[in-house]
Structure 1
């Protein structure tokens, strides 16, 4: 099967989206399929190797944060015609959605992979908490138009699925993302005797006074981490303000920030005088995993997170997470049947006090209990299962994708997803016509 993936807003620092698109693509190759990827770049290019398949770069227009977007999708359609795909997977709800109707008109399967909710994205980008009715209707019209052009619609969580349902999608496939459990794992030095924490949840004295807390034990400060893009929709400023609240309440805590983005300057100003260290974007996944594994807790304050790949990576490192309630990330730490064990994390109000109180409550669980619960939850999400579900969808068996997970997961094991040993055809034969 020849699968073509298309993605806008894709580059070296695009974080979760790039990780998902690339890992799935390598899984397709490992399972014996041909994988092509079309993305925006500064200039046209084409490259191929055994691990990544064929990557075609189309000139894109610079937008915020160093990203690029393809605003002339007719170039992409010409490339698709020359590739003659069996299935098209679109990770975009903007200009590249034209690939859906193009594929369906030619009997090619069209799959929309929903990485974000448009309503939440527009609200965060515009700074409007509640969209005006006119804007809400406009977003709804566009969403309905987008989903109408595809055979299958992929959501990674119940939170993300609700938007597709409201837009009229009927063939919605739930495909949770995965984590490389070999790279993201507890570091041997990350689980000594219980690190600093509280054995009981303090009594709340009042909103102004904050919790009544005993001094932090002498073993050292509580190590908090934020890992993700520094952009408005990720709500990183709330992580900084949560640290401020904790310290005002007498808790010795620090915050390490791993990521880059347009909010960097404002965040550094906001963090002035606080023990916050900005490490920038860490491209080396193993290095990031080592950093995460030394944290006591990870903060995930984005209320519009449709899944929370960085949350899953933290859990795999044995680190409990305080997540924003109502988000896809909150579903990862939910204690509902089949969910996380107590201590793996909490879903709280996405405010500074809400996150800070979540930190206090989680610290009531012993460190080893938190680590065990977090790692156990992460092991439920191997990339092999995600690849298996997606291959079932691409093959037209989306209605049976859950039944096929175990069988297909054996084809694309986590090791195979990383190795990608299947050769691709000579890319010089492809007429990209850019």
Structure 2
């Protein structure tokens, strides 16, 4: 089965979404399916990777978004989808790519939309009035356009559930339990950022308004005012970097930037005492889960989905510096072995194989059967390569012309 995945807002700095796409693609390939990922980028490319085929279409960056790009050429994308002839499509953008649900329906292809964020929550961050009514109208249209809506937590599913959406499925994402492990703790990494008597905290996410990184900085200030020798490492980059540097000018805050080496990220997380995840609209929080897999407890915003993911591996707090500082102090009062063991135990509930199986079930796809043993035949003279005939259906033929692209709005 060929599963074509479409995703926007993917850059070298989008850790959570990029990680999820990579792990799901690898899982689909391992199950015997053909995974194809289409994403925007600086230039065109088409290559085979461990997660399957990855096609990058040239797209201009969106202003003031930290380098985000979108697949804006609808006609070009229609041509590409027609040529790929997917059995399933999986879309990770319910704004600019929602039209692909109608494209799939015209072609008789089953479609899935993956909701990676709370739309009502994002509208609130952006200060939009009547956000719930606007989100309801948008979400209802999305649910009507796709065969299946997948949400990764009950928090993310709530805005669809209140609409009584019948095609809603909850499938948690996963974490790499081998890469992110307590054994990654590195004394050299820890000593790079903190003295033995200091409390090392880490924030690992984009530096954007939706993530509320300023709350992490303010938590350091609150702890220092309470005579707690806390220091903070901010691993990530984004549009808030300059403003945060000014905010942390007199505080022990180190900006590590985006860390592309996943092993280095694991070492940093495992070497910290506490991880902070202050975003109020997080719908899964992969960075928090990776920290717990490393044995590092987390403090999360109680308004987000993370309390249901974190469980006993951390503490949920109100979105204030004082509440976060108090939660950090309470975590550190627990015996080290106990708090780190609880974090790892909670993370072990979220392996990627389980997540892949859930997504394939939502696709109504089962592991492909193993190929039959090849028969040994006498050698025959080589013949010129001829492309296989294109599969066609009445629906495909009816919409194959370029002008038909406008119908999928």
- Name which one, 1 or 2, has greater alpha-carbon Rg: 2
Q: For residue 151 of structure 1, what is the aligned residue in structure 2?
A: 147
Q: CA deviation at 1:309?
A: 0.1
Counterpart residue number, 1:404: none
Indicate conservation of the 8 Å contact 2:184/2:294, yes or no.
Answer: no
Q: Is 1:278 equivalent to 2:236 in the alignment?
A: no
- Could you list the per-position Cα deviations for residues 32-74 of structure 1 after superposition, in whole angstroms to 9, with x for gaps in the alignment? 110111111123332224x132111222231110111122323
Show the counterpart of 2:219: 242
In 2, distance between residues paired with 1:228 and 1:140? 28
Q: Which runs of 5+ in 2 are unaligned?
A: 371-384, 391-400, 403-409
Q: What pairs with 1:37-116 in structure 2 (closer than 5 Å)?
A: 37-49=37-49, 51-63=50-62, 64-116=65-117
CA separation in 1, counterparts of 2:290 and 2:388? 39
CA apart distance, 1:101: 1.7
- Asked if structure 2 preserves the Cα contact closer than 8 Å seen for 1:187 and 1:294, the reply is no
Matches of 2:388 and 2:201, distance apart in 1: 51
Check the 8 A contact 1:82/1:430 in 2, yes or no: no
- Confirm or deny that 1:302 pairs with 2:303: no
Q: Deviations over 1:67-122 (max 9, x none)?
A: 11122323222211111111100000111111112112322111011101111112
- Kept in 2, the 8 Å contact 1:185–1:316? The answer is yes
Match for residue 9 of structure 1? 9
Higher relative contact order (CA 8 A, sep 6+): 1
Q: Are the counterparts in 1 of residues 143 and 167 from structure 2 also a CA contact under 8 Å?
A: no
* Alpha carbons of structure 1 residues 147 and 187: separation in structure 2 relative to 1, 3 Å: same
Q: Which residue does the alignment assign to 1:205?
A: none
1:380-399 matches, cutoff 5 A = 380-395=349-364
- Are 1:231 and 2:225 counterparts? no
Question: Deviation per CA, 1:402-432, whole angstroms, max 9, x where unpaired?
Answer: xxxxxx7xx9xxxxxxxxxxxxxx9x9999x
CA distance in 1, matches of 2:116, 2:306: 13
- Cα deviation 1:170-195 (Å, max 9, x = unaligned): 2211111111111000136569xxx9
Cα distance in 2 for residues equivalent to 1:164 and 1:190: 43
1:220 correspondence with 2:197: yes
* Structure 1 counterpart of 2:129: 132
Is the CA contact 2:186–2:267 (under 8 Å) kept in the aligned structure 1? no
TM-score relative to the length of structure 1 = 0.80
Secondary structure of the structure 1 residue equivalent to 2:146: coil
Report the aligned-residue RMSD: 2.5
Q: How many residues align?
A: 368
- Provide TM-score, normalisation by structure 2: 0.85
Does residue 185 of structure 1 match 2:154?
Answer: no
Q: Is the 1:16–1:309 contact (alpha carbons within 8 Å) kept by the matching residues of 2? A: yes
- Equivalent position SS for 1:97: coil
- Please give the alpha-carbon distance, in whole angstroms, between the structure 2 residues aligned to 1:347 and 1:73: 42
Distance 2:244 2:323 in 1: 19
Question: 5+ residue gaps in structure 1?
Answer: 196-217, 335-339, 398-407, 412-425
Offset of residue 168 of structure 1: 4.5
Moved more, 162-171 or 56-65: 162-171
**1:201 corresponding residue in structure 2:** none
Is the 2:199–2:230 contact (alpha carbons within 8 Å) kept by the matching residues of 1?
A: yes
Alpha-carbon distance, 1:219 to partner: 4.9
Aligned residue for 1:333, secondary structure, equals helix
Task: Report deviation, 1:327.
Answer: 1.3
Taking the aligned partners of 1:94 and 1:386, their CA distance within structure 2 comes to: 24
* Alignment map for 1:203-214 (pairs within 5 Å): none
SS in 2 for 1:161: helix
Corresponding residue SS for 1:119? helix
- Corresponding residue for residue 160 of structure 1: 156
